[in-house]
A and B are shown apart, each in its own frame.
Chain A
């Protein structure tokens, strides 16, 4: 009998996005309650490796489509493929990681299948044959338990909200290759390329984030070069400060985040912004440096597992949510912290 619980494995350039494994983990828990196994879906180019990994992480059946038309994610052909498979096999639930691709894909599949999508979910439970998804709303101020009355229930899981299962290389499963659903001529868009290198850790996936706020530009000790005007000096100071943040991030394999104040001031691009109008992140460790912790920023990182705050103002609201706090000069603390981690983590 076909599995009732499906998982979409998100990938980029053939490599699976790690949060897909969290989704398989969550799927396994659901599958137990629906008496069946877990089916994974992966599409792209050269994705057989990802398909095999999916089995190791807990999939029993994997449908994969390996095609040049799917090399770059485009919602139209991916959605048509997934919708077609779902119509054929009638799953109860399809889980997706909440990446830019996962959300868009779930959205379009929902239209195809005339069903509902519950995005950015932080917890799942089953009641009377329905999955109840807990999701934050109003910028995280409230929690809802949402349900979808139709099938399949399409659910995207917040990244890092669910545990990563252990990979078991001895696990076996069934891999089935399927053809694409749409030909290139019928696809209305083309991905031309990328304008930034994908070298740095993305905020979404990062297990550790080191974030800088406006306070990062305030190092009184620094002497700026002579020929700069005030605006340039401020940016220069900020860049020096963010360099310290970057050094720590590098040692920890972390992503660099920023508060809205730092982005608005022009210290870092918007891509780094954590907060209600930036990215909502849920890393294991969030180290906030020179960030006061205003409500809008809190909305973006409040579900981080361990929050560390470094700020010279003991009254900064961030300390109320921090597991560990240091009231002190971040320009002195950060280099020592980087050194301390370098020594301990390399051993």
Chain B
């Protein structure tokens, strides 16, 4: 068992960290306050190849493995969650779904420009009335000749107002005996007539990002935009979440690390009762727990990433990593604020932003409660993974790097 990161992994970490720390960190507070996304972020991430990091070179990507994706997410979220959210939706939920389920034509049409950062991708599953209860969604996709006609509304969609492509799940068969089997997945170009979108403001966190809604009114898409087969929508959505959750887990690990590093720094500088507060045991305890959760979270997501590299189904392991890391990141941020005292309560320091951002991750990509049910289901034998018709391709260095 080799726990070491390769030279390549470390170079990727260093590069993404450099970008995030040098270009985004200095301005992030300003955009968080403004509740707007810094306009240079997406083009720059595209330019640097980060938006296609773990996609094969022949599909416009950078040919790195799934662990590199995780490492990149960790570094991005250590600066701000909004950077990692980009990766979660553009890469995790959308692009990797194309890699897993898409036809060659769909990959050429959608995946290649996404990997190059020429087009921005998002994921539309959640609706105003359907979050955890995915199968209760109202959006429909009716086959009419050689087109599907999409109607419905998706909400809490990251990058809604800036994306070019959306992976949308909608009901194609209202008469299916099990509503899960009545859903299908589609790629929708968001400049089609009938598509409207808007931003959602007033969120507790992830404010320097773009979160919004998408509405479809008789939007016509070609039949070829169907991903996989009709009725596979739910399974496809769940496999998308296996990848999105992975990025969330990795990102939350970075968030724990950010809380830990801020706390260590502050504990070394702040003095009370004649000494630096790092000398006090109750402060030390908080730091110790942060170290524990950081290292555990990191090992959990790296294991999930390794399994993806091997082509081994990792629904359970990714869910476990996401649940653990996100809950832990909220606690770490809360304790980080505690260590900072009143300064932690002010946005002059970063820790209050970490807390607000951390809470979001406990809600999206499966609430913590959903993950608890999943883990118990696996443990009690109530739940098992049925092999999918299309599995996420394992990492293949030669195949992924040939032109």
Is this pair of chains taken from one and the same complex? yes
Binding site for B on A (CB under 8 A): 264, 315, 317
Q: Closest CB of chain A to B18's CB: distance in Å?
A: 14
| Residues in chain A near residue B269, CB distance under 8 A | 315, 317
Nearest chain A residue, comparing its CB with the CB of B348: A313
> CA A305 – CA B343 in complex, angstroms?
32
Measured CB to CB, the closest approach of chain B to A346, in angstroms, equals 40
8 Å CB contacts to A: which residues of B253-276? Answer: 269-270
Q: Which of B41-70 contact A (CB under 8 A)?
A: none
For the complex, give the distance between the alpha carbons of A264 and B21 in Å: 13
A-B contact pairs, 5 of them (CB 8 A): A264-B26, A315-B269, A315-B270, A315-B343, A317-B269
5 closest residue pairs by CB, A with B = A317-B269, A315-B270, A315-B269, A315-B343, A264-B26
Residues in A with CB closer than 8 Å to B270 are 315
Q: Could you say which residues of chain B place their CB within 8 Å of the CB of A315?
A: 269-270, 343
Q: Which residues of B contact A317 (CB under 8 A)?
A: 269
Min distance, Cβ B84 to any Cβ of chain A, angstroms: 25
Bitwise interface map of B from 17 to 50 toward A, beta carbon under 8 Å scored 1, else 0: 0000000001000000000000000000000000
Chain B, Cβ-Cβ closest to A264: B26
The answer for the CA separation of A315 and B270 in the assembled complex, in Å, is 7
Q: CA A279 – CA B270 in complex, angstroms?
A: 28
Report the bound CA distance from A317 to B266 in whole Å: 11
Q: How far is it, in angstroms, between the C-alpha of A315 and the C-alpha of B268 when the chains are bound?
A: 12
Q: Which residues of B have CB within 8 Å of A264?
A: 26
Q: For residue A106, give the distance in angstroms from its CB to the closest CB of chain B.
A: 35
Chain A's closest residue to B30 (CB) is A230
Q: Quick one: closest A residue to B22, CB to CB?
A: A264
Q: How far is the CB of B340 from chain A (nearest CB, A)?
A: 11
Give, as a whole number of angstroms, the nearest-CB distance from A230 to chain B: 9
When distances are taken between beta carbons in the complex, the residues of chain A under 8 Å from B26 are 264
Closest to A317 in B: B269
Q: Smallest CB–CB gap between B261 and chain A, Å?
A: 14
Give the CA-CA distance A264 to B343 in the complex, in Å. 26
Bound CA–CA A320/B270 (angstroms): 11
Binary A-proximity of B328-366 (CB < 8 A = 1, otherwise 0): 000000000000000100000000000000000000000
A300–B270 Cα gap in the complex (Å)?
23
Distance, CA A315 to CA B343, complexed state (A): 10
CA gap between A317 and B269 in the complex, in Å: 7
A85 to B207, CA, bound (A): 69
Min C-beta distance of B160 to chain A, whole Å: 26
How far is B286's CA from A85's CA once the two chains are assembled, in angstroms? 66
Segment 91-147 of B: residues with Cβ below 8 Å from A:
none
CA distance A157 to B364 in the complex (A): 61
Q: Which residue of A lies closest to B343 (CB)?
A: A315
- Taking the closest CB of chain B, its distance from the CB of A215, in whole angstroms, is 12
CA distance A317 to B26 in the complex (A): 20
Measured CA separation A264–B26 after assembly (Å): 10
State how many angstroms separate the Cβ of A1 from the closest Cβ of chain B.
57
Cα distance A254–B270 in the bound complex, in angstroms: 33
CB distance from A119 to the nearest CB of B (A): 30
- B273–chain A nearest beta-carbon distance, Å: 16
Tell me the complex Cα distance, A107–B321, Å. Answer: 56
Which chain B residue lies CB-closest to A230?
Answer: B30
Give A209 to B270 CA distance when docked, in angstroms. 28
What's the minimum C-beta distance from B351 to chain A, rounded to whole angstroms?
Answer: 15
- Identify the closest chain A residue to B266 (Cβ): A315
Which residues on the A side are within 8 Å of B343 (C-beta)? 315
- Cα(A140)–Cα(B343), bound, Å: 31
Rounded to whole Å, the gap between the CB of A92 and the closest CB of chain B is 45
Nearest CB in chain B: distance from A100 CB, A: 28
Q: Give Cα distance in the complex from A317 to B270, angstroms.
A: 9
Report the minimum CB–CB distance from B272 to chain A (whole Å): 11
Q: Please, how many angstroms separate the alpha-carbon atoms of A105 and B34 in the complex?
A: 54
Complex CA gap A315/B267 in Å reads 12
Report the separation of the CA atoms of residues A19 and B44 in the bound assembly, to the nearest whole angstrom: 47
Tell me the nearest residue of chain B to A214, going by C-beta.
Answer: B26
* CB of A83 to closest CB in B, whole Å: 43
Nearest chain B CB to A248 CB, angstrom units: 27
Least distance between B337 CB and chain A CB atoms (Å): 16
1/0 per residue B154-167: CB within 8 Å of A?
00000000000000
Complex Cα spacing A264 to B22, Å: 10
Query: In the assembly, what is the distance between CA of A315 and CA of B272, in Å?
Result: 12
> What CA separation (Å) do A110 and B270 show in the bound complex?
47
- Please report which residues of chain B, range 261-312, place their CB below 8 angstroms from some CB of chain A when the two chains form the complex: 269-270
